[in-house]
Amino acid sequence: METNLLAFGELLRKHRRQSGLTQRDLARRVGVDFSYISKLENDRLPAPAIKTIRRLTEAIGAPPEELLAAANKSPDDFVKGSATKQSNRREYSLPPHLDVLAFGMDLDSDRQSPDSYYMQLLHGLQAEANRSAGAKVNLRSCLQPRFDVDTLDEISQRDGLILTGRLDLYMDGVEQAISTNLPLVLANRRIGGKTLNCVLSDYYPACQELVDYLYGKGFRRFGWLGRVEKAPHYDYRLDMIRGRLASKGMQILPRDCHFLEQISPDAVLQTMAQWIALGDLPEVLICSNGSLTPHVQRAMATAGLTCPDDLSLACFDNTDFVRYCHPEPTRMATYPAEIGRRAYRRLIEILSEESERSAPETILVPTRLIEGGSVRPPR
């Protein structure tokens, strides 16, 4: 049967007016936002799922067959849905209410650094939510080891969760979130031993490609600068780089690995100044993320060194920090905003009737090697 979204919106508006209800009246009866009804009637959202059509027809007293036909839904599905209406299957808000739990992130502070990796991820997620108008999204800073009773109860009232940030450092809170049994997606993280939906960069081939690229340029002594070991997610990158080097019979020497308690200009400058003073630098230094590279170059310039003549640099991520680098660094570009967008879309899929029984998925976002002027084969 030929259908279109406009036909559904027109039918809904016609029956609503015949019932004497305003859009706000109908929204209250169905338990949705007024804006959701408005968007349905004005062809700004797809025709809703069976359970929503059921609520609409009950509220306006319309025969379900017309709206079902306009939405290209089968009457048999409507009957099946009615038969299971009293089952223990969760009923979601319309539009759904989602919480994004940002572990270890003070959002008020991090918003002052919009170029940071996780802020880009959150911006992509929020932009996708705004574009699709499919859900209400609440960003929540999670800075305590565990949620208190009131906060956990509030989270439990949501329809779905997206977990991101420094999960490894807040596992008690993460476990509490998982224990709500809400549909959830991990953004840029996975948790060992648990089968959960997650969206993350495809780090394995990315690290292989970066090592192979530098190895092909003739580098044999690699260095690393990043956060303290076991800080999410930089340890994954270092572990994979070490593994790829090991496959070539190489390793990063302990003296060539330097770890920062925090990523800040002063911390980078101090660490690099001490390293340079030793007079024993590696041939190429890999930075755990692009925000470090301008400060590394600054420390080199202060010591009278140049990049890449005295030290080649490579890094991960393609944040706007690279604009402050001269020369521009060679980097393995990751796309946190795309991770945020896909995490949001995956959660919406899970909330749909069609996907509620689907198995958890790991969605990998591709990376890309971008050559800059910061790498020159060793002499």
CATH 3.40.50.2300 fits 97-200+338-367, yes or no: yes
User: Which tens digits make up the pLDDT trace of 251-307?
Assistant: 999 999 999 987 789 999 999 999 999 999 999 999 998 889 999 999 999 999 999
Sheet hosting strand 257-260, strand order edge to edge: 257-260, 222-227, 284-287, 312-316, 330-333, 368-370
**Region 161-174: what's the mean pLDDT?**
92
Question: Which residue in 200, 256, 268 sits closest to 223, CA to CA?
Answer: 256
Does 371 score more than 80 pLDDT? yes
Does 179 score more than 80 pLDDT? yes
Asked if omega into 96 is within 30° of 0 (cis), the reply is no
Question: Which residue in 124, 14, 12 sits closest to 70, CA to CA?
Answer: 12
Tokens for 244?
């790829």
Q: How confident is the model at residue 83 (pLDDT cuts 50, 70, 90)?
A: very low
- Bridge pairing between strands 284-287 and 330-333: unpaired
C-alpha span between 306 and 346 (Å, rounded): 45
Class of CATH domain 5-83: mainly alpha
Q: What are the residue ranges spanned by the domains of the chain? A: 5-83, 97-200+338-367, 203-334
C-alpha span between 364 and 181 (Å, rounded): 24
Rounded to two decimals, the pTM is 0.69
Judge whether 5-83 and 97-200+338-367 match in fold.
no
Fold of 203-334: Rossmann fold (3.40.50)
Q: How confident is the model at residue 355 (pLDDT cuts 50, 70, 90)?
A: very low
**Region 325-329: what's the mean pLDDT?**
95
